[in-house]
Each structure stands twice: as C-alpha cells, then as structure tokens.
Structure 1
Amino acid sequence: MPENRKPTIVLVHGAWADASSWNAIISPLQSQGYQVLAPPNELRGLTSDAAYIGSFLAQSTSGPVVLVGHSYGGAVITNAATQGGDVRALVYIDAFIPDEGDTVVSLLDGSTSALAVADPTTVLDVAGYPGAPEGAAEAFLKPETVHNAFAQDLSETDRLLIVAGQRPASFVANVTPSGVPAWKTIPSWAVVGTEDLVIPPDLQRRMAENAGATISEVRASHVSMVSQPEATLAAIQAAVDSIA
C-alpha cells in the first residue's frame, strides 16, 4: 500500500480500561507512520456505545480504517463498524465477538470465566450512577479480581494502576443484545490470550471461528496487548496488509 494510503488504526478499549490500555500499541504504530486514534468507549450500553464509536469514525477518519477492539470493545466494534467510516478490517484482542442476539452475559454463561459466578459481588464492586436506567448500576473490578484474574501477568505496579484508574461499565452494557455483526461483511482477525481468565480461550476461539476470523494465540492474560503487545501488533499488521 502506498505511504499516503496507510489506513487509520482505531483502537477501542473494553470495560475497566481507557485509552491508556493501548499505550504499548500506539507508539509502535505511530513510529511506522500510521494515524492512530483511541476514542473513549462510554461503557453505558452496547447500542449507544456502538453509535458513539460509529459517529466518531464518521467524523474523525477519512480513508480506510482498521478497527480494533479489546474485551467488551470487541462487541462494540462488531456493531459500530457499519455505522461510520470506511472500515476495511476488524481486529479482536481477547475480545467478545458476538453474533446477532448475543449478549456478554449469554456468552459467558456456563463458562469458566472468573466473572461467571452466582454472586457477582464476590468479584465486582457495584455502585449506582446518575442517570442510570431503572435497576441499572455500574461495576468495578475488586482489587483481588484485577490481581488474580484480569491482569495476572502484569507487574504489581501495573496491576495497582489498573485498580486505581479503572473505568466502570454499566450492567446494561452486558445485557444488551448485539445487532447484525459487521464481521459478516468485513474480514476479521482475532488474538486469543491462552491464559485469559475473563473470556476463556475456548470461548474466544469459538467466537472467532464463528466469525471466520484469522486466529493467532499468545500466552497471556486478558490484557495481552499490555503484557505481550507484539501479538496485537502482528494481527494489526496482517489486517493492514490485507487491504489492497
């Protein structure tokens, strides 16, 4: 691809994270001359979150886009990719890759996920928030969940930063059914963290296979883009290379 035709790389974070979760990815891509954008994911509900990212793509990008999502961000890009911008490839990192009608809760149900527990308050701290729909609340990871299940392969210092700075997700985001998936018409890649205790590797593989994604694996936790960024960079490069 000619230099002036390089796609824009848009990175969408998941729950309990923000754009800083992509720091190890952003700098190497920028050094290669890519425009990289990491917009906020509102984490309030799948429909509205996807509409926000779709609007961001429409207003902030021109030319081809490689759209990347981590964790819940995978569900968001699945719904946002056809709502704005010229998205040519989807890249999923330790992510949910829902089919139409799937919810995060339904995908995790019956799995070995550390979050698929009878009493969510054993792994999450729950709090109300202004403007929440009736019965809704937002969830924070308990510190021990971060240390033992979310980012167990990071240093203690980095884990403590996640504990301190996590952005909570509304429960609404986890129970909103996904729409018609963009991966039906847009090629996709998926990086599976084989030590992921939040979205079990077998579930990641099953979703990726259902989407027809090109799958790679890395021995890493749920935040493989932080602990093993080379795997994410390789998947993004493969997606870029696919764009004629």
Structure 2
Amino acid sequence: MPTPTIVLVHGAWADGSSWNPVSVELQSRGFEVLTPPNLLHGVAGDAAYIASFLEQRTSGPVVLVGHSYGGVVITNAGTGGGDVKALVYVNAFIPDVGETVFDILGGSGSALDVPDPTAVLDLAGYPGAPEGDVEAFLKPSTVHEAFAQDLSEADRLLIVASQRPIALGANIGPTETAAWQSIPSWAVVGTADRVIPADTQRRMAERAGSTVTEVDASHVSMVSHPQVAVDAIVAAAESVAG
C-alpha cells in the first residue's frame, strides 16, 4: 500500500499553524502533509467541509489527525470522504454518536466547565450567525493558565493575539457518525491538560479502543512536545502501509 497522506485538523482558538512543529518533522520523513482549515462554526458543517476536502484533495490512504475540537470533526468526517485508514487524536475529543462537547466536559473538572462562561471566555456576535449564537475567544488569563501553560510567555501571547474563535453552537452540535467505530485509532493524552482533563481523554480513548500514549503536557502538546504526536502519527501510518 502507498505511503498515506497525513491530514492534520486543528481545533478551536487555532489554525493550521498550530501543527507546524509536527508538520515539519513529518515532511522531513517524506510524508505528504495537509492542514485544511477547520471552519469552527458547527459540527455538521465543519465535518462536511473536511470530508469534502478529503474527497477532493487526497488520493490513496489517509491518516486523519485531530486536535481538541478537531477530534469531533474527524470523528464525524472520517467515513464521509477520502480513504481514511487511521485516526489520530491529540488532546482531543473522541465523541460517540449523540454526544456534544458540552456533554463531555460537563462535570469533568475542565477549566472551561464553569457556571459563568464569561469568566474564561470573551463572547462576540458575528455576521450571519444563527439566532443566539456567538463566537468565543479565550481570555488571555485562560490561555496563560489553562490552555498553553507549558509554552513560553511569547508563544502564549501569540496564541492570545492570533486565536480563531469557535462558535458556541459548535459545542452543542451532536456527533452524527463515530468513525472510530470502524477505523483504528491512536490517542495522545496530555496529563497536564486543563481543557480536556486527562481522565476524560483516557475514558474516551479506551471506549474507542485507541492505542494510547501519555505525555506530561498541556492542551497543546503538539506544540510543546511535538515528537509525541509525530510518533503516534507515524505508528498509525506504518500500520496503514503494512
């Protein structure tokens, strides 16, 4: 089987550049790497976009990788387009059918699971929003203390400045298809993750039957400890290539 294409899907408050440390290493090993935009406006639409991207922009086997909310998107998109042979979740949600981000985080101890979301998020309307929907930005204090606490101050400030907001509606959209039920998966669990606590990541990964690696890292382990993500992705790719 030919070498698979690696498709990296970013999460909320990020863009494709959040994968740069991982992409550079994978490219140096000869992999074709693509980092499509994740629209961050709703599970169904975001997944349809990634599925369409896979169908049109890839040929041959694909290892589909998601970080954080990107895990929701790859779970829903993995069987919708392209020839996805493996899934890799990096500090990511691995939802089952019917579950939402808010369902998973509720009672988990996440820094985002608070009675008043404006304590950790800044909310703003956006043009064309469904009635009542708003975009959520991380407060600077949330980035520094709970999202990327193991990065340098300079890198945390860059995240604050460049973050792409996620529509709150994306967090209440239910998963419609769980690709991990039919596609083998790998998971990187950040044990110092304050956004998706490690126990929550472990529970989802165990349910999905994922091959799990743990790393002492924040929610953005692919930035602070990129080699761990690289190793999981390469393992998935090698399983595909046989």
Is the shorter-chain TM-score for this pair beyond 0.5, marking a shared fold? Answer: yes
- The equivalent residue for 2:156 is 159
Q: Does 1:38 align with 2:32?
A: no
SS at match of 1:91: strand
SS at match of 2:45: helix
SS at match of 1:30: helix
Which aligned runs of 4 or more in structure 1 are off by greater than 2 angstroms?
A: none
Please list every run of 5 or more consecutive structure 2 residues that lacks an aligned counterpart in the other structure. none
C-alpha separation in 1, matches of 2:123 and 2:146: 18
Q: Does 1:226 align with 2:212?
A: no
- The equivalent residue for 1:150 is 147
- The equivalent residue for 2:236 is 239
Q: What are the Cα deviations for residues 170-220 of structure 1, in whole angstroms up to 9, with x where unaligned? A: 001000000120000000000000000000000000000011101110000
- The equivalent residue for 2:70 is 73
Q: Does 1:86 align with 2:83?
A: yes
- The equivalent residue for 1:189 is 186
Q: What are the Cα deviations for residues 66-123 of structure 1, in whole angstroms up to 9, with x where unaligned? A: 0000000000000001110000000000000000000000000011100000000000
TM-score (norm 2): 0.99
C-alpha separation in 2, matches of 1:193 and 1:70: 11
- The equivalent residue for 1:51 is 48
1:32 is displaced (CA, Å) by 1.0
Q: What are the Cα deviations for residues 157-178 of structure 1, in whole angstroms up to 9, with x where unaligned? A: 0000000000000001000000
Q: Does 1:211 align with 2:200?
A: no
Give, as a single letter, the amino acid of the residue that structure 2 aligns with 1:30.
Q
SS at match of 1:205: helix
Give, as a single letter, the amino acid of the residue that structure 2 aligns with 1:99.
D
C-alpha separation in 2, matches of 1:179 and 1:238: 28
TM-score (norm 1): 0.98
Please list every run of 5 or more consecutive structure 1 residues that lacks an aligned counterpart in the other structure. none
Counterpart among 97, 101, 106 of residue 98 in structure 2: 101
SS at match of 2:171: helix
C-alpha separation in 2, matches of 1:11 and 1:240: 13
- The equivalent residue for 1:172 is 169
Q: Does 1:62 align with 2:42?
A: no
C-alpha separation in 2, matches of 1:111 and 1:168: 22
Give, as a single letter, the amino acid of the residue that structure 1 aligns with 2:180.
W
C-alpha separation in 2, matches of 1:37 and 1:180: 23
Q: What are the Cα deviations for residues 29-76 of structure 1, in whole angstroms up to 9, with x where unaligned? A: 111111100000000000000000000000000000000000000000
C-alpha separation in 1, matches of 2:111 and 2:126: 25
- The equivalent residue for 1:135 is 132
Instruction: Give me the CA root mean square deviation.
Output: 0.6
Counterpart among 11, 14, 17 of residue 14 in structure 1: 11
C-alpha separation in 1, matches of 2:162 and 2:106: 28
Give the number of equivalent residue pairs: 241
Q: What are the Cα deviations for residues 140-161 of structure 1, in whole angstroms up to 9, with x where unaligned? A: 0000000000000000000000
Give, as a single letter, the amino acid of the residue that structure 1 aligns with 2:116.
D
C-alpha separation in 2, matches of 1:58 and 1:114: 36
SS at match of 2:92: coil
